[in-house]
Amino acid sequence: MHTRHIGDVAVGAIGLGGMPMSIEGRPDEQRSIATIHAALDAGVTLIDTADAYHLYADDVGHNESLIAHAVATFGGDTSDVLIATKGGHLRPGDGSWTKNGSPDYLKSACEASLKRLGVEAIGLYQFHRPDPTVPYADSMGAIRDLLDAGKIRLAGISNADPEQIRLANDILGGRLVSVQNQFSPAFRSSEPELELCAELGIAFLPWSPLGGIASAADLGSRFAVFAEVAKEYGVSPQQVCLAWLLVKAPVVVPIPGASRPETIRDSAAAADLKLSAGHLARLDQPA
């Protein structure tokens, strides 16, 4: 697979989002492991997770543990696999999501993620979501401390606006390597953040690039132009969508979620799909 960079690390141009394998509707462990192994076989080397990807209060870090096990049991070389996890977003176990961006919490969350992933340093650690009760600079100060202490190799942020991107990069001393924001045919309002990342050379990781768990399968029916272009190329609308995202900037690394081997194989093939300028212009038109 063609590669792109997150900091000084080369990763496959298409990543894997692990969330569907651990929250509501998650499959059995065997199918999840098969999905992760299929991703690795297809050349995916970026796997995105978070400690909040779980169902129950006593289930925290389910996705981290699952991914660690799947990578450890893969038959091939995994030395180039970058596991990206996040802290600062929580699920109390009742289906809701809460936030905690306090420095002490982020540091303790990182320690717990280290244990679940079974590593001495997390490959990429991202502040999951701003906490309105904690100054953003304080939260990023904790990420900086983790980076300086060698607990994490690379630092990123998620769900951030341009001001927060610049502030985070400043607090990290220019070491911000990734921004993970929502971006898809249905959600294009992160264009300013994408453009800023391209300007600064920071990887932009679109989450839910196909529209999210509930809508990804219906992308072609919801956005007819993607289905029309897909028919012309003989591929899926989802593949067209990911190829369209890749063209937006060299820093873009989509992380489509998957819970079946066949879906991540289809997504990975988008790295080799070349869309014409005319098709890209059609896809760029507002829905």
* Residues 20 and 259 sit within 8 Å (Cβ to Cβ): yes
> Quick check: is 53 catalytic?
yes
For residue 161 the two structure tokens come to 């606006």
The answer for residues whose C-beta is within 8 angstroms of residue 42's C-beta and 6 or more apart is: 1, 264, 265, 268, 269
- How many other β-carbons are positioned within 10 Å of the β-carbon of residue 112? 14
Encoding tokens for residue 87?
């802290």
CA-derived radius of gyration, the chain:
18
Q: Which helix (H) or strand (E) holds 11?
A: strand 9-12
Alpha-carbon distance of 148 to 145, in angstroms, equals 5
Q: Which two tokens stand for residue 181?
A: 């924001």
* CA 84 from centre of chain: 7
Task: Please identify every residue annotated as catalytic.
Answer: 53
